[in-house]
Structure 1
């Protein structure tokens, strides 16, 4: 082999070595990103609340009693058996936490006019519940006197405004659990729509009930009417405060806004504080909503020494917390058809 042939061989070997190294480097760079989305969720690390975790100032005891009575133990047992047979990797603890969120969803349907579904895992339990047609109809009749309809699946689509409204109402009704943000996907990723904020700023209570809430249930059940009025009064108060603050702080300085949230929101936990921040930052047109909310979440996580309060909102330790994560040994068995927290399926409940 001449000098030229030897040079070609050496060059070829060098090229192969280089390509192998680049390929290995590419895989090593991608691997942490993949692993960062796979987390072990230990559903046995906390106990499911005996009640629905409704906030103490929300007086829905009568609704909760009807739900517990309507959801008979025999029905619950059949539903659990059916679901766990289909979801062989799901533990009893994981099922109970997701069933809790379905019950919370039914509470929201009792109160709101329209409630899109933002969790595929919760929706799967609802699907199985529908298979028991007589029991499900009895459940709905006992709960609010009418069927909570489940529309057929359509293509998953972005619903950021609906998701922000869902997050606001959820935060006002329920105390967060360590798994809320995982099961529902991350909360507070989307701004509340400006037209919705304008509604609460200008329209009457009666107008808001007709447009946004379950007026039929409100007319039948005093506790639902009282809760709807509480939600309207509280939201109006937050909106009016935020409008006043925004008009007096035209520079939208983050530190000023943060102190306003902490002192004026009346928050009792991280979820309510984040909800107040979402409402305030939704009014600002500086394109920094996501950045501001992420900064707020990181500060709250540090303030709570990395506890579970941030995880409850779906922010802690990750830029995305979704029910599409799965892992071995106590991991999440649900699968999400949309990785964004603002996406909803064609199914959803609520009342006119």
Structure 2
């Protein structure tokens, strides 16, 4: 009788151990999406549509990235972030490549997403490959540096939103990473400078890339023309209202420029997406404390600042705090190294 009980106990113990091993194996094999992510994400689209003004720049970027480098970044990032799914990573990688394209167009490009910035940090670990990529794409090294103090950048965010949507359109999945778009207007006096400029859209344009990269020059010139053509109908105050339609890029940008030009104190309310579009904007964005600058062949530094203190809210998007940098008042962050970047940061 005792022998029979011992056999039964051994059988149950064996079954328990087998089930435990299976559960552990299953949990380590499949990455689970974080609770803050949407229930399902569509596949990440192309960096830029063929009809986009930055499509040639997107092609240049892809040609500057080696497949081995791209795969190494992906492998390392997913190993370090097991909670991120393959599709989520594809979206992060997409938005980082779009950020690099914006760096070829604008002189100051804040990093408004800590999640996208995490991929950039991983990319920097491959120091030599990263340097070769940025020099091939931008004509110079794009350095990654931290801010020394949290400075709100509502004007920089206004430019980011305008140029981003001009180049890539708008969708809720991108907004979930960057924070709600069109919460802060571009100051009217900067818009006046942009439409008066002869070749670029003013001091916000990346002059170095404009002079060195034909694809960037074409995009910058077209952005200037688009800004002028959208502002022209209401420049003399001929209209007092524009519809906001997040499914139409042209309508959306025209409304954003109109309410900025009108200096409306209710800009954020006028530009708020409809309720059916806001429901897709889950909280997924917070700004990075890092910045960047690019060094041209003559050793000159071109700053690309990253913002601090921007917290995304479900109802109001990125809260940039008070204060406006109407004249581009971001201070040069210099070339101080970022301790979390390892050898990827530059002094």
Query: Would the TM-score normalized by the shorter structure come out above 0.5?
Result: yes
TM-score in terms of structure 2 length? 0.68
Q: Which stretches in structure 1 are left out of the alignment for 5+ residues?
A: 1-37, 325-335
Residue 73 of structure 2 corresponds to residue 48 of structure 1: no
Q: 2:197 aligns with which of 204, 228, 251?
A: 204
Residue 139 of structure 2 corresponds to residue 161 of structure 1: no
Displacement of 1:176 in angstroms is 3.0
- Mapped to 1, the partners of 2:194 and 2:331 lie a distance apart of 27
Q: Which stretches in structure 2 are left out of the alignment for 5+ residues?
A: 1-34, 287-307, 313-317, 322-329, 335-347
Give the equivalent residue in structure 1 for 2:180: 186
The structure richer in helix per residue is 1
Displacement of 1:321 in angstroms is 4.5
CA 1:180–1:192: 2 relative to 1, 3 Å:
same
Give the equivalent residue in structure 2 for 1:339: 311
Does the 8 Å contact 1:55/1:175 carry over to 2? no
- Mapped to 2, the partners of 1:48 and 1:283 lie a distance apart of 34
TM-score in terms of structure 1 length? 0.67
SS in 2 for 1:149: strand
Q: Runs of at least 4 residues of structure 1 off by over 6 A?
A: 344-349
Give the equivalent residue in structure 2 for 1:86: 80
Displacement of 1:178 in angstroms is 4.2
Does the 8 Å contact 1:55/1:174 carry over to 2? no
- Mapped to 2, the partners of 1:74 and 1:241 lie a distance apart of 49
Residue 204 of structure 2 corresponds to residue 223 of structure 1: no
The structure richer in strand per residue is 2
Displacement of 1:130 in angstroms is 1.0
Give the 5 Å matches for 1:47-196: 47-49=43-45, 51-54=46-49, 56-58=51-53, 60-61=55-56, 63-196=57-190
Q: When the two structures are aligned, how many residues end up with a matched partner?
A: 266
- Mapped to 1, the partners of 2:80 and 2:87 lie a distance apart of 16
CA 1:223–1:58: 2 relative to 1, 3 Å:
same
Displacement of 1:316 in angstroms is 3.8
Displacement of 1:151 in angstroms is 1.8
CA RMSD of the aligned region, Å? 3.0
Displacement of 1:285 in angstroms is 4.2
CA 1:275–1:243: 2 relative to 1, 3 Å:
same
